[in-house]
Chain A
Amino acid sequence: MSTVRSKAVVLWTVVVLNLILLAAPTVIILGASVTTGNIIAFPPEGFSLKWYGKVFASVVLREAFVRSLWVSIVCTVIAVPAGTLAALALARYRVRFAKLLQLYLLLPFTVPLIGAGMGMLMLFGELGILGELWPVGLACCVINLPFMIWAVLASANALDTDLENAAANCGAAPLQAFVTVTLPAVAPGIITGALLMFVLAFNEFLVSLLLTDANTVTLPVSIYNSIRNVITPDLAAVSVVYILVATLAIALLDRWVGLEIFLKSK
């Protein structure tokens, strides 16, 4: 009995410590954002929303926010068809060199972001598109595409291998079967991947740092530039905005797909 008890105590201690560690940054930043003082501090001095007011009044931050939104949209719009088709090809059809292709599609993970960023800096420079905003979205799509592919693959691999045959047997022509059966059946994976891509692009920092200039600076880069001067509580408020965006994405995911897809071990 006592060993069971001590085991429970140890387990709970570990769990609670973990939860504290995971939640600490969020809690600290939340606290720091509502301080009344002029320097970032935890625990906060008093309670006020003045820094949020300042954030929303700041033209620089608002513009950076809109740019980040645009970058995320570009990234997602490219990633959804590219990642979905790649994943479906790998999962549902017999593709020559499938193994090699899969490795190739995971390449962005193995290349350090700084390397990928430098490569794209040079490529975009050559193409003369450096200084525009949409290439930043394209870059975010390239480096994060494996997430999209994984999300759709997880969905596609769980499907019955005879699904398209069943559609054909029901009288659906190949394209009809693809549109009415294959795509909707992997929709949970597509939605998951799309939200993931959106959030990742919204948060993307390192590659954006290399690819943006003063006119195209995105929100994470803008925050970074501010940190280099004085760390004021408005940065904590911006971070909270970030957390809200991520929470919104997860809430949408739960509503549209359900979070079981992440909790299942398949």
Chain B
Amino acid sequence: MVAVEGVGKSFGGTTAVTDVTFSVPRGRFLTILGPSGSGKTTLLRMIAGFIEPSQGEIYIHGKPVSAVPPHRRAIGMVFQRLALFPHLTAWDNVAYPLRMRGFDAAEIPDRVAAMFGIVQLKGFEQRRIQQLSGGQQQRVAIARALVFEPDLVLLDEPLAALDRKLREEMQLEFRRIQQELGVTTINVTHDQREALVMSDEVMVMDGGRVQQLAPPAETYRNPANAFVATFIGVTNFLPAHVASRTGSALRVRIGDLESPARLADPQLPTPPHGAAVDCALRAEHVWLRSGAPADADCSSSGRVMQCIFEGDRIVYEVAVAALGPALIRVIDRTPEAHLLLAPGAPVEVGWNARDLIVFPR
């Protein structure tokens, strides 16, 4: 459906996107996830045709589109600040693409009406854009992007401006519409939760390069590198050295502790004995017990420094003497099962070998 091959873009002297290659099959939902400045929006705008790639080629339906201006690419797009036409009503905004694309005037009303049904905005057709709430404007923008039944829809962080509850609602809402219409979608966001919730595949970008392209669960469970591990989820990073390796079993030394661990990418050669590595340990994979030693592959004792109650979870920052001065972040997802541990409380922390992920430097 869409194939991006070796695409790069530099503005003047700065490189925004470097050698990006990926493809999205028909009907799939890909999210490009990355911090601001990672090149994700530049990439999306190149697909839309607003920016020309410096290198590489983009194919839509197998045809190169470099020479095709944006208004001739049959792509729907929801813009970051929506870019609805302020002088038109909601109805005319949604009808606009049909008029511009030369649809038969007789079938326009039916299509527009059907779209208002799909985005559940019936009764608001004649409102002016300024008279609609943020969520309603969002729905108009989605309707405008989908009304001419494009094969491909691009989302440029349209949900970022909404408050959290509405954002989460719209994520599911868009996913429902996307699956209902079976439209191929590329979404850009810096919100890891949104990426995990909405997508079939997640492409993590940083510094203009692709860091990992995998299904959401895969990027979460098996981050390809240290950047992906930090960007998705709350992760502790521990500098370590390889203590021993026998076959696939790997042991690392972190501070005064020795722990079994696993290599992030089993395809890669195991780093040699004594090599400096980084270990990622997700905050929700750390066991926390007061009193009894943790039932885990490796454990040590520490002291609670801070306790943040977030309702559905508790985030602790724990000082573990054996691991050095850095605080270990721990997320307890079953706060009702445990007591709140006050700062200063002695605790046992532990983890399993499969959760301590080793990245060679």
Which chain A residues have a beta carbon within 8 Å of chain B's beta carbons? 159-163, 165-174, 176-177, 180-181, 184-185, 187
Whether A172 contacts B71 by the Cβ 8 Å rule is: yes
Instruction: Return chain A residues, CB-CB under 8 Å to B88.
Output: 184
Closest to A177 in B: B71
B48 touches A163 (CB 8 A): no
> B335 in the interface, Cβ–Cβ < 8 Å?
no
- The interface bits of chain B over 140-176 (1 if a CB of A lies within 8 angstroms of the residue's CB, else 0) are 0000110010000000000000000000000000000
Q: Closest CB of chain A to B130's CB: distance in Å?
A: 11
Closest approach, in angstroms, between the C-beta of A184 and any C-beta of chain B? 4
B70 at the interface (CB under 8 A from A): yes
**A169 vs B154: C-alpha distance when bound (angstroms):** 10
**How many B residues are at the interface, by size bracket?**
20 to 34
Bound form: Cα–Cα A140–B322 in Å: 82
User: Within 8 Å of chain A (Cβ to Cβ): is B271?
Assistant: no
Instruction: Classify the interface of chain A: helix, strand, loop or mixed.
Output: helix
Q: Is the CB of B81 within 8 A of A169?
A: no
Asked, given contacts A165-B50, A168-B70, A169-B70, whether A160 binds B81 with beta carbons under 8 Å apart, the answer is yes
Contact between A169 and B148, CB atoms less than 8 A apart = no
Is there a chain A Cβ closer than 8 Å to B124's Cβ?
Answer: no
Compute the total of residue contacts between A and B using a CB distance below 8 Å: 69
Q: Which 5 A-B pairs have the closest CB atoms?
A: A166-B83, A171-B100, A170-B97, A162-B83, A171-B101
Contact of A168 among B69, B84, B87 (CB under 8 A): B69
Q: Give the distance to chain B from A193, nearest Cβ to Cβ, in Å.
A: 16
> What would 26 A/B residue contacts be, using CB atoms closer than 8 Å?
A160-B79, A160-B82, A162-B80, A163-B85, A165-B48, A165-B70, A166-B85, A167-B71, A167-B85, A167-B100, A168-B69, A169-B48, A169-B71, A169-B75, A169-B77, A169-B145, A170-B71, A170-B96, A170-B144, A171-B71, A171-B97, A172-B96, A174-B71, A177-B71, A180-B100, A185-B86
Q: How many angstroms from the CA of A181 to the CA of B85 in the assembled complex?
A: 7
Cα separation A51 to B72 with both chains bound (whole Å)? 66
| A165 adjacent to B97 (CB under 8 Å) | no
A171 touches which of B81, B84, B148 (Cβ 8 Å): B148
A185 to B88, CA, bound (A): 9
- B236 shortest CB reach to chain A, Å: 39
A contact residues around B360 at 8 Å (CB): none
With A169-B48, A169-B75, A172-B100 given, is the CB distance from A163 to B70 under 8 Å? no
B71 touches A173 (CB 8 A): yes
Q: Which of B27-83 touch A at CB < 8 Å?
A: 48-50, 69-72, 75-77, 79-83
Find out whether the CB atom of B87 lies under 8 angstroms from the CB atom of A184: yes
Chain B residues with Cβ below 8 Å from A184 are 85, 87-88
- Which A residues lie within 8 Å of B49 (CB)? 168
Known: A166-B84, A169-B70, A181-B85. 8 other contacts (CB 8 A): A160-B82, A166-B79, A167-B96, A169-B71, A170-B71, A170-B100, A170-B144, A185-B86
